[in-house]
């Protein structure tokens, strides 16, 4: 588990961009957090780093948008999802098999029908400063070991909630 803290939207995009550099074909990232946590903001930074030139907006009503880039990016938002079958129907697994990368907003909701290897990015608005986001990175499956390699990429935003409080 890697804990980070960003002070504004640009920093969250910079974190996302740093992580995007380590992505490989077929990678899946689940974005978890309430409305306004910064999931779409994160995706914008991530997509930009992959070479997406279009402006990325929330695909809330269409469920998924795909962008051409160095690695094709599939941006999914399952907020309005009524049945998990809708996620299955997107054919995300097949799209990933074609060599793209997928980012899923509200990924925790769709987890039962998604592959077991993923990087989870949990984002929360700070209780004291509402421009601050507390972000936790946690890998599952093959990402458990890859998670370790992410730490140096996001070093400047690392934050340890346990030790910082004692200083």
Residues of the shown chain interacting with ligand ADP in the complex, contacts defined by CB under 6 A: 6-9, 11-12, 33, 35-41, 58, 105, 131-133
Residue whose CB is less far from ligand ADP, 57 or 144:
57
Residue whose CB is less far from ligand ADP, 33 or 94:
33
Q: Give residue number: closest CB to ligand ADP.
A: 38
| Residue from the set 5, 39, 111, 122 that interacts with Mg ion by CB under 5 A | 39
Site string for Mg ion, 106-145 (x = CB under 5 A): ----------------------------------------
Find which of Mg ion, ligand ADP, none residue 84 binds, CB within 5 to 8 Å per kind: none
CB of 101 closer than 8 Å to CB of 69:
no
Residue whose CB is less far from ligand ADP, 84 or 132:
132
Q: Does position 48 bind Mg ion by CB under 5 A?
A: no
Q: How many whole angstroms separate alpha carbon 40 and alpha carbon 35?
A: 10
The DSSP output letter for 61 is T
Q: How many whole angstroms separate alpha carbon 51 and alpha carbon 46?
A: 9
- Which CB contacts under 8 angstroms, 24+ apart, belong to 64-72? 64/90, 64/92, 66/95, 66/100, 71/23, 71/24, 71/25, 71/99, 71/100, 71/101, 72/98, 72/99, 72/100, 72/101
């Amino acid at each position: 588990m890697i804990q980070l803290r960003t002070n504004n939207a640009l920093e969250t995009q910079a974190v996302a961009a740093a992580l995007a550099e380590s992505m490989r074909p077929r990678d899946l990232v689940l974005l978890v957090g309430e409305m306004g946590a910064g999931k779409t903001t994160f995706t914008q930074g991530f997509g930009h780093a992959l070479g997406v030139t279009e402006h990325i907006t929330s695909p809330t009503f269409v469920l998924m948008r795909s962008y051409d880039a160095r690695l094709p990016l599939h941006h999914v938002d399952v907020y309005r999802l009524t049945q998990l079958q809708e996620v299955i129907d997107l054919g995300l697994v097949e799209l990933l098999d074609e060599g793209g990368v997928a980012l899923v907003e509200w990924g925790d909701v769709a987890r039962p029908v998604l592959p077991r290897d993923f990087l989870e990015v949990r984002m929360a608005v700070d209780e004291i400063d509402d421009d601050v986001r507390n972000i936790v990175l946690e890998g599952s499956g093959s990402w458990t070991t890859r998670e370790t390699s992410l730490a140096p990429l996001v070093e400047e935003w690392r934050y340890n909630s346990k030790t910082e409080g004692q200083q």
